[in-house]
Structures are given as C-alpha cells and as structure tokens.
Amino acid sequence: MSVSPLKCCINPSILSADFVNLEAELARISNADAVHVDVMDNHFVPNLTIGLPVVERIQKVSPVPLDAHLMIANVDRWAPHYADAGLDSVTFHVEASDAPIK
C-alpha cells in the first residue's frame, strides 16, 4: 500500500492586505489556492472586520476561491448565507453554534 503525499494549500489572509488596493492585492496572489477571509463581529471575538456584503464583492473580483472563517456570534443564522454566496469554504467555531452538524 502506498501513501499519497499530503497536498499543501496556500491561503493567504486578506487581513494583511492593503484594503485601499484590495483588487490589486488579490491579483498579486492569483497563484494561491484560496484567499482566507476572517469575518469578525466584535461579539464572538473582540475585533471587527467585514461582513457578507463585502465578502460577496470580494468574491466577484477574486482570481481564486474564497475561504471564509466566521468568528461571529449567531453563526447558525449567518453560515448558510455565506455558503449560499458560493464561497469555496466556510468554517466556524463549534462553540458559536447551537447545531453545528445541521
């Protein structure tokens, strides 16, 4: 039995990007596997970043798939909206959900 080598994925975070020039910043990482988008609501975590309308706009100009990391309260309400937006990946903290398997 042979073992397959692990695939390494490169998903740079947009938090380190220059938001004034975000489309150009996304173009610079067009060879990445995905773009990691941290969504924070200043409730679940003590930071505030961007929400669904901005993520949807980023998706329209991104040359690579989006990986949304939801660090938000009421994730059961919002995670389906991010999934329905067609993002490649949506992850969240299990403790933020009343029904994480649902």
* pLDDT, tens digit, 9 for 90 and up, residues 10-35: 999 999 999 999 999 999 999 999 99
Joined tokens for residue 85: 């937006």
* pLDDT, tens digit, 9 for 90 and up, residues 36-91: 999 999 999 999 999 999 999 999 999 999 999 999 999 999 999 999 999 999 99
Domain range list for the chain: 14-96
14-96: CATH topology: TIM Barrel (3.20.20)
70-79 own/partner pairs: CB under 8 Å, 24+ apart: 70/39, 70/96, 71/38, 71/39, 71/40, 71/41, 71/44, 71/45, 71/47, 71/96, 72/39, 72/40, 72/41, 72/43, 72/44, 72/96, 73/41, 73/43, 73/44, 75/44, 76/102, 78/52
